[in-house]
Chains A and B, each alone.
Chain A
Amino acid sequence: MPQTPLGITLDEPDVRALIRLVTASDGQPPGRDGAIVTFLGTVRGENLGRRVVELEYQAYEPLAVRAFGVIAAEIADAWPEARVALHHRIGTLRPGDVSVAIAAASPHRAEAFKACRYAIERIKQIAPIWKREVFDGGEAWIEGSTADPSDSAARQAAYERACR
């Protein structure tokens, strides 16, 4: 498991480790945060009406970690007191497995919830990670967003989802 707040992992993400990383990431004393919001993305056993057997995740790791850094910087810009730690798993996952874990911390809950939601929305937009779905009767690469961190409309859409 990565010992850094932002990383790619072959193992199941450890949400307790993420909580430690997000609350201890800058050497501040404990007690600064009044809220920690966590999110786990898990493999759903049904997609588009078909039964999912497994998902195979690939990542371009150095750029993925940089994209996570972009997301963390955007969060610091939008909610200056909030911080996030996040680990995304790669490899072959089965229904019920955790694919991504996020911990967002802030002195107040509203910003922690927003930062956590924003992080997962932006991961889906700009992180160079792909999944191949193996389902009953076939397999297909799932295609979401064309990754462009400078697309301000996408960034704004993620912000609005986080804040509604």
Chain B
Amino acid sequence: MQVTIRLFAGLRDIAGAADLVREVPAGATVEQAWQGLAGEFPAMAPHRASLSAAVNAEYARFTRALAAGDEVVFLPPVSGG
């Protein structure tokens, strides 16, 4: 199934894109989507410990199962203000 991955800040710079559409296995978790992404962009892998995630514009845990068409967002440490 396909999911849309949105990236911000340093992750966006690494990918060179704000949005990616990627194939993940049916029932894949947020963590599995991340593993696929980190495999494609190894420079992202060290960021894992400080990331949070969102699915369809709601904060989500990495154990969350994805559905086809979901929008998955990986959020580096925030710095608003």
Q: Is the interface of B mostly helix, strand, loop or mixed?
A: mixed
Measured between beta carbons, the chain B residues less than 8 angstroms from A141 are: 9-10, 13, 76, 79
Q: Which of B58, B59, B79 contacts A144 (CB 8 A)?
A: B79
| CA distance in complex: A147, B13 (Å) | 20
**Interchain pairs with CB closer than 8 A, number:** 85
Does A99 lie at the interface of the complex (its beta carbon under 8 Å from any beta carbon of B)? yes
0/1 per residue, A130-164, Cβ < 8 Å to B? 11100000000111111111100000000000000
| CA distance in complex: A152, B3 (Å) | 31
Size of interface on A: residues with Cβ below 8 Å to B:
33
Query: Which one of B26-34, B36-44, B46-54 is at the interface?
Result: B46-54
Interface residues on B, range: 20 to 34
A128-B58 in contact (CB<8A): no
CB B47 to nearest CB in A, in angstroms, measures: 10
CB B74 to nearest CB in A, in angstroms, measures: 10
0/1 per residue, B52-81, Cβ < 8 Å to A? 101001110000000000000101111111
Q: Which residue of A lies closest to B57 (CB)?
A: A62
Q: Which of B58, B77, B79 contacts A63 (CB 8 A)?
A: B58
B58-A145 in contact (CB<8A): no
Measured between beta carbons, the chain A residues less than 8 angstroms from B12 are: 58
A100-B80 in contact (CB<8A): yes
Given A59-B80, A99-B81, A127-B80, decide whether A147 and B9 contact each other with a Cβ distance below 8 A.
no
B57-A123 in contact (CB<8A): no
CB A151 to nearest CB in B, in angstroms, measures: 10
B54-A145 in contact (CB<8A): no
| CA distance in complex: A59, B52 (Å) | 14
B-to-A contact residues, CB < 8 Å = 6, 8-10, 12-13, 50-52, 54, 57-59, 73, 75-81
A-to-B contact residues, CB < 8 Å = 41, 57-60, 62-64, 66, 88, 99-100, 120, 123-132, 141-150
Pick the 10 closest A-B CB pairs, nearest first. Answer: A129-B80, A62-B57, A130-B9, A143-B77, A142-B79, A144-B79, A127-B80, A124-B81, A141-B10, A147-B52
